[in-house]
Copies of this chain bind each other. A is one copy, B any other.
Amino acid sequence: MEKERKPKNIFVQGSISPETIAKSIANHSTKTDIGGHSIFLGQVRADEKPEGKVLAIDYSAYEEMALEKAFEIREAIFAKYPLTCMHIYHSLGEVKVGELCLFVFTSSKHRKAAMDACDELVERIKAELPVWGKEILDTDNHVWKVNV
């Protein structure tokens, strides 16, 4: 059970490695009331923009506000769904094309809660966390990422 009642850090410097994800999954093998895990991973795309091709995204955040907001979202999702665990990791700094920048992980006894909670978490993270992605282009230009 990880229903801590204080904000925890969600930010990691640089990309999120597949090994981090494996370790996080493995950590749940002792929680034998879990029947399903739902995971969402954001990966940086090599988008072609009119200004150039994306090579990486440089993430920045209003960290204090983002952590408060993440805590608020976390509490709301725990109140809404019967979850066992919830983990959120978001990159700061540079994440190259093909690397992972977001890792959202929910676990519950029955699959539906984990799946629905994961979907809702991702939507809320993208809409409500004060985080910005600067897309670094192969033309030495950059454009500010826009979430759709």
Minimum CB–CB distance from A109 to chain B (whole Å) comes to 7
Q: Which of the candidate stretches A5-13, A17-25, A70-78 sits at the interface with the other chain?
A: A17-25
Number of interface residues, chain A, beta carbon within 8 A: 40
Known contacts A115-B40, A115-B119, A45 near B33 by CB under 8 Å: yes
Q: Does A3 sit at the interface, judged by CB under 8 A?
A: no
Q: Does A129 sit at the interface, judged by CB under 8 A?
A: no
- Cβ-neighbour of A37 out of B28, B41, B44 (below 8 A): B41
- Cβ-neighbour of A21 out of B21, B107, B109 (below 8 A): B21
Q: Which 5 A-B pairs have the closest CB atoms?
A: A22-B22, A32-B46, A39-B39, A29-B98, A18-B22
